[in-house]
Amino acid sequence: MSEPIRLLLVEDHMMVRQGLVALLSSSDDMEVVGSVGDGLEGVEAFRKHRPDVTLVDLQLPKLSGVETIKRVRAEFPEARFIVLTTFDGEEDIYRALQAGARAYLLKGMPLDELLTTIHAVHKGKLHIPAPVAEKLAQRVSGQELTARELSVLERIVAGRSNKDISADLFISEATVKTHINNLLGKLGVADRTHAATVAIQRGLVSHR
């Protein structure tokens, strides 16, 4: 019999983490070698255990899932990550895959899909479910927002007026309006409110 696949879980919700440990430990060909609750612990646990596959959430305390992946892969380029999250905005997916994740799963997927994905990633394959791939295609085909447009969008989401944004960014109100018109066009929306909603849905701007 071959060696079990050694897994590390990085998930801040204890109940979810415990449930995953129980589910995965019940599989004969898998072994959970560590489970931690924040990104910094995740990096340390990886160094300690050197797992075959790491399951990581995106929203983590101390260090985000994307930053956790980047930090580990800077030291261990062959590290294999599966993102397991509730966030399905195309920007979230894009950032995670760009950081080096090999799979992106939404919490609540059937257990057999999770096990199949772990086996695929362990063999060095990418595994992107169809709904996630569609979102990613939208991200890739969409027009990129410039850094300044993103700065303006963040302030729109925060409820700042054009005058406030002008003061924040040291630009004229006319320039603010130009940026807003450009980003409305790129997002395919008609007004600021819709822009804010789309920005949050797509993961362009974090909103807590």
Q: Note the pLDDT tens digit of each residue in 182-204.
A: 888 888 788 888 888 888 877 77
Write out the residue limits of the CATH 3.40.50.2300 domain(s) in the chain: 5-140
Rounded CA separation 52/150 (Å): 37
The pLDDT of residue 174 is: 93
Angle at 8 between CA 26 and CA 133, to 5 degrees: 90
Residue 73: other Cβ atoms inside 10 A: 17
With a cut of 60, say whether residue 141 has pLDDT above it. Answer: no
Bridge partners of residue 55, in order along the sequence: 9, 82
Which pLDDT value is given to residue 111? 86
How confident is the model over 9-23, as pLDDT tens digits? 999 999 989 999 999
Start and end residues for every CATH 1.10.10.10 domain found in the chain: 147-201
User: Taking a C-beta distance cutoff of 8 angstroms, is the pair 73, 99 a contact?
Assistant: yes
pTM score, whole prediction:
0.67
Confidence band, pLDDT 50/70/90 cuts, at residue 98: confident
Instruction: Residue 204: name the closest of 126, 152, 132, 141 by CA.
Output: 152
Cβ distance 45 to 17 under 8 Å? no
Backbone angles phi, psi at 100, to 5 degrees: 125, 5
Of 16, 28, 13, give the one whose Cα is nearest residue 108: 16
Over residues 45-77, the pLDDT tens digits come to 999 999 999 999 988 889 989 999 999 999 999
Fold (topology level) of 147-201: Arc Repressor Mutant, subunit A (1.10.10)
Q: According to CATH, what is the number of the domain 5-140?
A: 3.40.50.2300
Task: Give residue 136's pLDDT.
Answer: 66
Helix (H, G, I), strand (E, B) or coil at 173: helix
